[in-house]
Chains A and B, each alone.
Chain A
Amino acid sequence: MKIVEDSPPVLSVLDRPNSYIGRSVPRPNLARLTQGRGQYISDVTLPRMAHVAFVRSPHAHARIVNIATEAAKQAPGVLAVVTGPELAKVMTPWVGVLTHLKGLKSAEQSPLAIERACWQGEAVCAVVARTRAEAEDACELVDVTYEELPAVVDAETALDAKTPVIHASLGDNLCFERKLDVGAVDKAFAESDAVIETTFVTGRHTGVCNEPRAVVADWNPGEQRLTVYHATQAPHMMQDLFALHLGLEHQQVRILTKDVGGSFGIKVHTYADEMATVALSKLLKRPVKFVADRIESFVTDIHARDHRIKGKIGVMKDGTITAFEIDDLTGIGPYSVYPRTSGIEANQVVNLTGGPYQCPNYRAQARVVFTNKNVMCQYRAVGHPIAVAVTEGLVDLAAAKIGMDPLEIRRRNLIADDAYPTQSASGLKFEKLSHHEALAHLDTMMNYAALRAEQAKMRKDGIYRGIGFASFIEVTNPSAAFYGVGGARITSQDGATAKLDAQGNITVHTGVTEQGQGAEAVIAQCAATSFGVSMDRVRVVTGDTDNTPYGGGTWASRAAGIGGEAAWQAGKALRDNVLAVAGAMLQAKPEDLDIRNGIVVDKSNGTERLALNELARVAYFRPDTLPPGFQAELMATRHYVPRAWPFAFTNGIQASYLEVDTDTGFVKLLRHWCVEDCGTIINPQLVDEQIRGGVVQGIGAALFEQCLYDDRGQMLNGNMADYLVPMAVEMPDIDCGHVVSPTADSELGAKGAGEAGTAGAPACIMNAINDALRPLGAQPLTDMPFTPDKILRALGKI
């Protein structure tokens, strides 16, 4: 089979005879999925299970005058028709605020709208029936009388005095505001050789997970226990929230997360319809299933990236960047999403803009406002694609202004590789980044000089190709600084339990979850390596709050860096415990022994002493033969949380090569490159595939994806025929390269890799398009997505 590795295995100092660190080990759980034997939440069926469908507001903003449910209650198969006030008796409301985002405010939200619906698609009534089809039939019989209210749809005017206030109790439509002024920005601009200002727009888009959101809630009154089969990224977080709002103890709530059909940040939030499903199960005392269909997904899955950013950069003739300034405005819908809030994205834009560059002068303002559109919240690479687009867009414009090559201006301004530890103007602390090494690697990998020559030659034939770059930093491995300090009950630590079974194999229980990124493989690789067995003797258990250590789950590129380290430590701890047993059995000092390939050996010369199955047999079945007073402990748990740094920053650089058809405004992607530094690489193949998938998600944002709304707050393209996701034909092959700067905060040294592709790709595509069109005198394009309309307009063709 001709499958070429992009990256040769990078073996680290952690290498052991059984090392899987740095090796492209195939994920052990894949055959189940290729054979269609996965179990997604949408596949779950339970005895007496009912299905819920929701009546959703057709209006962006309306008072609910009356809900007539009688006809629906009489419809075939219907078990219950429930409105907001009825469900409020079962479940308490919530408010999405965090104390460390000072001043952030939001209104109470309930599982079903009460009194008012605040966006098109908000659930106002639930119909539970024997089948989903019957529930939908009955939804059509629910007669809701609405009084339409004025809708706030434009973020630009949301704070104007004459704009209606969505939540009167809040006083205005401002959710959150942040200002930052570092260095001497005005002076820097005044002294610059050139100052460039422009406005960037990043289009509102959404995750479009292939498997829509799904939940099966099963309240068992006999046990007084709630089991929720939930396609979520954060089982323990959901356990806490369900318990809190139903008035239960954690012990009464079990979350089971099986296979998840994609999440990307979509499945890490509280959704009113999922909360309602859980409440309905409690109310009806039977399992209730909700699987969002694609149409309701488009108007209820969180949206993201709807930002308008005014940006300004100062530059000297020698390419020195003197200052950055941004003014970010974002409309997040009518509520800040619980519990992570909808202030984080703008906050990240402020934090990250200018991040890769050595530039002491930075001023930023961000305003987050309420609107009557679907809610926005954290989606893969939160805030990064916006900050990178603004930063890299400005850097390219500056380069063009002073006539400097775009790679050269980056070379002159990126933080030096020997400058660490250091921090950004916005205060981000960097342990160790490798911007220059990454840039040099990219330059070689893409053969930049040859591409430029080809580009010049083709221009003579009227073919307009462009090369675009984007340097970036990425937040990974968050400590409690992200959410915990703000009062959110979202844990940043994670745990792993390794146990030896009676045949000498190990099972590892982890708090991180598998969303397809390969977490199970990574956990197995770490534990197998540190413990000393082959991968096929390791089984990984995830996604069950009854059976895994308390953990945060999968988000912010934390599964490998945090969950992997916990598994690594648990494997080591279990090894020590096993060697204590071996020492007792062999009358040797445990420190003179080791485990290699599943066999206890003499550490000094590798002589085989004892097979693990024999050790397990004695420990479990003949403990009477062990020395008096000795107790074998064949299960070990370790937890890990980053402490030395608030976040483990990664860095990298991407490049895009594309061709613009100047007659049609269509863009053809020819090739894409990404060099990334995620610290220690546990599994090169998985890292590369995270990059590739992330890049394509970013390309979607740059070229195709946008949630379009009309001026009454109606989403215009909420289906997959009109909302364009990236498909295979239009996507390029993507080359990946790596630099390795491990973090010293953990023994493994792994940082996260899940979001780098998405962070950099939109900016990269934008810069490549503008590079292609610059000789034609086109106005630079800064309004994503770059549709034929916009490109033709820039070219003056329409």
Chain B
Amino acid sequence: MKPAPFAYKRARSLDEAVALLGEHRDARLLAGGQSLIATLNMRLSAPTLLIDINGIAGLDRITRNNGSVEIGALVRHAQAERSADIARHVPLIARAMPTIGHPAIRNRGTLGGSIAFADPAAELPACLLALGGEVEATGPNGKRVIKADDFFTGLFETALAPDELLTAIRVPAATAQTRTGFAELARRHGDYAIAGLAATARADGKGLSDVRLAFFGVGATPLRANTSEAALAHGDIDGAVAALDLEPHDDVQATAATKKHLAGVLLRRVAAQLMEAR
């Protein structure tokens, strides 16, 4: 189980990475590599070139500005897990982090890689969606911003153009009113979940507003549940569960029926978290 041969180039700058992507249409970007290298080993993917972006300076920072937090594409899971800024200002990601893989995986895996890879069962794409964040993409024409709601376009597909790379994500910094909820059901600790839910809301008097629910593991992309969000904002948990209209498929760990049922269970559990004091 060895990968097919490929060439390897270390990009020293964003410009170089973008140029290489433009030149080599079947190149793949190598960030943390924790999903990519496994697929290469199994020969499920056989690019002719890997463009290693790990050496590009400046992409591994977590910075706060104007009520938002910017997380560089190369920030590793372990770095985010240890970050006081993430704990304080993006508690949803802090909450999700221990459920992602295992320590050795989190030491290499990057937040940018996870979001760009867009595995529908992964935690971070759902977190980004729940946070109402945005993605900074860099391409030959410079940078552009893509809203999380527009980013995940299909199974392992995103709004990134073939010659663009994800360079950062930006999410709103939590305020005193921010409420977050996170729960997933995985057969074993660290596995991809059968179903999971990341959520944010704003405490509004005794109730909630701006509820954002992002389910994962139950569709081709992380999925918002708009009707349920509205119901939750009205404090109607039963209504929120009843309004779920997910259409998951069977997979080797669970049937669609189980996934749908578990989504409802998760919604109740996460609703309880949202309603707790922060």
Residues on A close to B: CB < 8 A? Answer: 132-133, 136-137, 140, 293-296, 663-666, 704, 708, 716-717, 719, 721-722, 724, 727, 729-730, 787-789, 792, 797-798
12 A-B pairs, CB-CB below 8 angstroms?
A: A132-B2, A137-B4, A140-B4, A664-B265, A704-B187, A708-B252, A727-B190, A787-B187, A787-B253, A789-B257, A789-B258, A798-B257
**Cβ contact within 8 Å between B188 and A788:** no
What DSSP secondary structure best describes chain B's contact surface? loop
| With A295-B1, A729-B189, A788-B185 already in contact, 18 other A-B pairs whose C-beta atoms are closer than 8 Å | A132-B2, A133-B2, A133-B5, A136-B43, A137-B5, A140-B4, A665-B258, A666-B185, A717-B252, A724-B191, A729-B188, A729-B190, A787-B187, A787-B254, A788-B258, A789-B254, A798-B257, A798-B258
**Cβ contact within 8 Å between A788 and B194:** yes
Which of A136, A722, A789 lies at the interface centre, i.e. has the most chain B CB atoms within 10 A of its CB?
A: A789
In whole angstroms, how far apart are the Cα atoms of A52 and B257 in the complex?
Answer: 44
B4: chain A residues at CB < 8 Å are: 137, 140
Q: For the complex, is B262 an interface residue (Cβ under 8 Å from A)?
A: yes
A789: chain B residues at CB < 8 Å are: 254-255, 257-258
**Cβ contact within 8 Å between A722 and B252:** yes
Q: For the complex, is B57 an interface residue (Cβ under 8 Å from A)?
A: no
Interface residues of B in 1-49 (CB under 8 A from A): 1-5, 42-43
A727: chain B residues at CB < 8 Å are: 188-190
Encoded as 1 (CB less than 8 Å from any A CB) or 0, chain B from 72 to 88 comes to: 00000000000000000
**Cβ contact within 8 Å between B252 and A293:** no
Interface residues of B in 54-83 (CB under 8 A from A): none
Contact of A664 among B185, B190, B191, B252 (CB under 8 A): B185
Residues on B close to A: CB < 8 A? Answer: 1-5, 42-43, 185, 187-192, 194, 252-255, 257-258, 260-262, 265
* Closest chain B residue to A293, Cβ basis: B1
**Cβ contact within 8 Å between A724 and B188:** yes
In whole angstroms, how far apart are the Cα atoms of A663 and B185 in the complex?
Answer: 11
- How close is A185's CB to chain B, nearest CB, in angstroms? 39
**Cβ contact within 8 Å between A663 and B1:** no
In whole angstroms, how far apart are the Cα atoms of A717 and B187 in the complex?
Answer: 15
* Closest chain A residue to B269, Cβ basis: A663
**9 tightest A-B contacts by CB?**
A293-B1, A133-B2, A729-B189, A798-B257, A717-B252, A663-B265, A789-B258, A798-B261, A722-B252
In whole angstroms, how far apart are the Cα atoms of A578 and B146 in the complex?
Answer: 86
**Cβ contact within 8 Å between A295 and B258:** no
In whole angstroms, how far apart are the Cα atoms of A797 and B254 in the complex?
Answer: 14
A293: chain B residues at CB < 8 Å are: 1
* Closest chain B residue to A797, Cβ basis: B261
Given A136-B2, A788-B194, A792-B261, does the pair A724, B254 have CB atoms closer than 8 Å? Answer: no
- How close is B263's CB to chain A, nearest CB, in angstroms? 11
In whole angstroms, how far apart are the Cα atoms of A666 and B185 in the complex?
Answer: 9
**Cβ contact within 8 Å between B188 and A664:** no
- How close is B48's CB to chain A, nearest CB, in angstroms? 14
In whole angstroms, how far apart are the Cα atoms of A789 and B262 in the complex?
Answer: 10
**Cβ contact within 8 Å between B187 and A664:** no
In whole angstroms, how far apart are the Cα atoms of A711 and B112 in the complex?
Answer: 39
B1: chain A residues at CB < 8 Å are: 136, 293-296
* Closest chain A residue to B261, Cβ basis: A798
**Cβ contact within 8 Å between B265 and A724:** no
**Cβ contact within 8 Å between B189 and A788:** no
Contact of A716 among B192, B252, B262 (CB under 8 A): B252
A717: chain B residues at CB < 8 Å are: 252
In whole angstroms, how far apart are the Cα atoms of A216 and B261 in the complex?
Answer: 51
In whole angstroms, how far apart are the Cα atoms of A704 and B188 in the complex?
Answer: 9
